[in-house]
Amino acid sequence: MNTITGNKEYIIEKTDNGKKYFHFIGIGGIGMSALALCLVNNGFKISGSDIASNLNIENLISKQAKITIGHNPKNVEDASLVVASSAIKSDNPEIVRAKELNIPIIHRSQLLEAMMSGLGRDDKPISIGVSGTHGKTTTTGMMGMIFEHSGLKPSIVVGGMIPALNTNSKFDNGKYFVSELDESDGTIKGCLSMQEDSYREGNIREKSLKEI
């Protein structure tokens, strides 16, 4: 998949600061839905598609996200920017159509990088990334809840549900942004390239080291 830069300024320009649609291919996934939920809760226009509905999709629809079940070239025609994960192949009909229409395509890790750089807010948050072979979702959720219960109003993006919040992401106006970073899809590389403020790595296997 040929993708363009995911920097914050480029995304703001292409989406008119969120007034035009971000389109998520595979929006029901736990990581993709977390990003989409953060944006829609911040007033951004979100559309998306997936092969089947689930609770993540139902939640996004309840917040006015425009979601279609099934991948169809027509789904991207109102989009200003397409977001895809590593699970989406280059022959996906929506990817093919986006390229035909010259709609920019970014990887989910690039969007997360932009959000941790301040997309959707007036300042750059203090960003904290958590990675590792085992326990990164739990550690990220626990860290986010520590900040939450301390009254710091953090933004949180996790690849799993946080039981105390009943969500996998939260956008708030506090100065901290806590996120899980996945070594398997380039998230670590992207977020480290922006020199995040803090990086927490748990235990890590040789296979994961090769993916960083």
Residues annotated as catalytic (active site), given as ranges: 136-137, 180
How far apart CA 88 and CA 107 sit, in angstroms, is 10
How far apart CA 197 and CA 40 sit, in angstroms, is 25
Give Cα 122 to chain centroid, integer Å: 19
User: Residue 99: what residue type?
Assistant: K
Sheet strands side by side (includes 167-170): 167-170, 155-162, 176-180, 126-131, 198-201
Sheet strands side by side (includes 21-25): 66-69, 46-50, 21-25, 79-84, 105-107
Tokens representing residue 73 in the block: 């070239």
User: Count of CB atoms within 10 A of residue 173's CB?
Assistant: 12
Q: Which residues pair with 167 in a beta bridge?
A: 162
How far apart CA 19 and CA 36 sit, in angstroms, is 14
How far apart CA 20 and CA 32 sit, in angstroms, is 18
48 and 29 Cβ atoms separated by less than 8 Å = no
